[in-house]
Structure 1
Amino acid sequence: MNRLPGSDILAHASACDPKTGIVIPEARNEVMDRTQAYFPPEPLNRLNTTLVFNKLSRESILAVVSLCLDDVAHLLKNQRISLDVDVASKDWLAQHGYSETYGGRAIAVAVRTDLLFLLARKMLRGTI
């Protein structure tokens, strides 16, 4: 897979503040310099803004998991089914859904494939 310029910089732990996960200014500037050196000005000028994403904290990852679970609970509420997820299950979804490379995008996929699809099958079988 072809990676964007500067992604190797962000892969290092030293690119982020260890307490907050926020990308340090030096790393951000290096990524932006490499991006501008890699792409011609024409496509860069078409972008409204360029972002360097910070790493998510454990609390933020769990908050994303909770938001996804709230969406599932809302869907189930229409079927008069309540959803109660324990802390260990939320931790499991956070661990399996979060990627250092892709961030929290896969959390929604993990919730959908590991929880929602299972619930749907059980609902279709009438076991819930």
Structure 2
Amino acid sequence: DEVEKAHTDVFNVLLQILDEGRLTDSKGRSVDFKNTIIIMTSNIGSQILLENVKDSGKIDDATEKAVMNSLNAYFKPEILNRMDDIVLFKPLTVDDMQMIVDKILINLNIRLMDQRITLEISDEAAKWMGETAYEPQFGARPLKRFVQRHVETPLARMMIKENLPEGTIVRGDLKDGDIHFEVEKPQRTQHEN
């Protein structure tokens, strides 16, 4: 992740792996990397992409060339020449963020299944999270923290404070610029009384 921040010694190790398909330590022990895929990420050129990617998500040739020039200016040719491919990713859109919110909430509900608790977030609240946490230069990380701060942490506190029984439904809706929760505990039957 963010390979440009790596120490120069890391690049020397990478060169050995990419060139020879193995890594040998100072004691002569070797590790085989021949059947390994190495994925490196970088933010070099990300500002160029943010400023020039079309609304359609298309990266034009001039933008791609500008990003490649930035990479060539930063990395030594021997590193770049050993990479099989360089993939440019378009910045996330508000719509992308909305899909990520939905996925985060689905995963949260899966985690809640063990306690037999259901979380229902209104469309308005989900849309607010995606739009409010949208920072194209930082990707989805701020969104994850935003959902933790506005949904997961309040929900965890509620679960501890109110000792929510199995079958509880927690509904979150947007109210006064934040998410407010209502708890619907299951009805007790006469048999349980």
- Unaligned runs of 5+ residues in structure 1 are none
Check whether the contact 2:97–2:134 (CA below 8 A) recurs between aligned residues: yes
Identity %: 27
TM-score normalised over the length of structure 2? 0.56
TM-superposed CA distance for 1:4, in Å, is 5.2
How far does the alpha carbon of each residue in 1:14-45 deviate from its partner, in whole angstroms, 9 at most, with x for none?
A: x1122x12322220121012211221123434
**CA distance in 1: counterparts of 2:67 and 2:53, whole angstroms:** 13
1:17 aligned partner: 54
Matched, 1:122 2:122: no
1:110 aligned partner: 146
Note closer, same or farther for the CA distance 1:123–1:48 as it changes in structure 2 (3 Å cut).
Answer: farther
Where do 4+ consecutive residues of structure 1 move more than 6 Å? none
Deviates more, 1:50-59 or 1:72-81: 50-59
TM-score normalised over the length of structure 1? 0.80
How far does the alpha carbon of each residue in 1:52-109 deviate from its partner, in whole angstroms, 9 at most, with x for none?
A: 2112233322111100000111111221111111112111211233311011222222
Report which of the two has the higher share of strand.
Answer: 2
Note closer, same or farther for the CA distance 1:93–1:41 as it changes in structure 2 (3 Å cut).
Answer: same
**CA distance in 2: counterparts of 1:10 and 1:48, whole angstroms:** 21
**CA distance in 2: counterparts of 1:92 and 1:104, whole angstroms:** 15
Amino acid at match of 2:129: L
Match 2:68 to one of 27, 32, 42: 32
Who wins on radius of gyration, i.e. which is larger? 2
Check whether the contact 2:93–2:136 (CA below 8 A) recurs between aligned residues: no
**CA distance in 1: counterparts of 2:145 and 2:84, whole angstroms:** 29
Report which of the two has the higher share of helix.
Answer: 1
Aligned residues: 124
Structure of greater relative contact order (alpha carbons < 8 Å, 6+ residues apart): 1
Note the 1:1-128 alignment, pairs <5 A: 5-12=44-51, 15-18=52-55, 20-45=56-81, 47=83, 49-126=85-162, 128=164
Check whether the contact 2:47–2:137 (CA below 8 A) recurs between aligned residues: no
- Unaligned runs of 5+ residues in structure 2 are 6-41, 165-193
